[in-house]
Amino acid sequence: MSEKVNLYGLELPAMEEFFLSLGEKKYRAGQCAVRMYRKGALDFEEMTEFSAKLRALLAERATLWLPKVIDRQQSHDGTVKLLLELADGERVETVLIPDGERHTQCLSTQVGCAMGCRFCRTATAGLTRNLTPAEIVTQVIAAQLEGGFGKRVTNIVFMGMGEPLHNFEGTVKAFNILSSDYGLTIAKRRITVSTCGLAAKMRELPVEMLPSLALSLNATTDEVRMRIMPVTRAHPIAELIETLKALPLPSRARYTIEYVLLGGLNDTMEDAARLVRLLSGVPSKINLIPYNPHGDSDFAAPDPEQVERFKRYLLDKNFVAVTRKSKGDDILAACGQLKAENEERGSLAPLEEKD
């Protein structure tokens, strides 16, 4: 018997094809999606608009599988990190970040990562495998059921474990499901897809995803960038900038440029000036991210006054620049700190069952 289909991983056309394969009308797919995403059905027996025969057939051929939340940590700032166990026993982390009325969830796209960025804890684990579209989407469902914010997620960032564009198909399908009218209806403008700079994959992105694209640049010379991001050898800075300029970005849209400030390495005023020259002609906003050192880090946090000088220089040159305060650093949930392991904290205690 073939493996059951996880319906959370299907875009609407694929779900319609699935229902047609069952001998049903394709409109049943829309009914099923409403039950899954808007009414929170977790079992086919809850879909009472379907006949008992169809519900039984769905249970035989399909699943509404969700990852299991096996650990939850909460930061002093309200950030929540969840450790999720997948069907094959692999584990990934997802982070919930509260900020006023904005409720952001950081999603993982891979178990581990192959990019080897030296400031990122995920990279130390290496790559195990890609996540399926269902395993990406269900991070949101699992977090909602766990309690999450107690509120609906308003923003999604593909900035968790893994390089989203290295799992290109999974990321694009998950993006479509999360943002669609039949799915979780999160506005595309509220979804960010971060990449370390896989230029060929950037060029393959659908036009509707380009305003969501965030380039993790983190240096202004190839020499420095290669020291911290090995991907630079294959995709130097000049190629990345030219790629951004050539992409058909919709008018008035901007890319996000992420720049992790590493103390004494890439945070000089010379770097600020080079960054201005590099991004000239690139519609962008710049997120400056002061580095949060962790136990096995080789890098230092930048001086707060230097961060402010760096930002002020960009603003004076008429760039949109913000300093993004990483949250959840006390539970290793901040930028670059995710790594699905538990040895550092000892054995996991099981979560208490909910009533």
Name the residue among 290, 287, 285, 288 with its Cα closest to residue 318.
285
| Range 5-63 classified under CATH 2.60.260.20 | no
- pLDDT of amino acid 338: 54
pLDDT digits (tens, 9 = 90+) for 61-83: 999 999 999 999 988 888 999 99
Cβ burial of 91 (10 Å; 0-12, 13-18, 19+) is buried
Q: φ, ψ for residue 28 (rounded to 5)?
A: -60, -30
DSSP 219-269: -SSHHHHHHH-GGGGTS-HHHHHHHHHHS-PPTT--EEEEEEE-TTTT-SH
- Cβ-based neighbour number of residue 153 at 10 Å: 21
113 close to 122: Cβ distance less than 8 angstroms:
yes
Out of 138-142, 167-171, 333-337, pick the least confident.
333-337
CA atoms within 13 A on the CB side of 197: 27
Distances (CA, A) of 222 to 22, 46, 116, 233, 313: 54, 56, 16, 8, 22
pLDDT at site 149:
52
Name residues whose C-beta falls within 8 Å of residue 101's C-beta, 6 or more positions apart in sequence. 154
Q: How many CB atoms lie within 10 A of CB 315?
A: 13
* pLDDT for the residue 60: 97
Domain 68-345: assigned CATH number: 3.20.20.70
| Residues involved in catalysis | 93, 335
pLDDT for residue 158 is more than 50: yes
CA distance 271 to 313: 11
Taking the model in full, what pTM does it have? 0.91
Q: How confident is the model at residue 349 (pLDDT cuts 50, 70, 90)?
A: very low
Tell me the pLDDT tens digit for each residue of 121-140: 777 778 999 999 999 999 99
**pLDDT of 121:** 78
Q: What is the pLDDT of residue 148?
A: 56
Query: Domain ranges in the chain?
Result: 5-63, 68-345
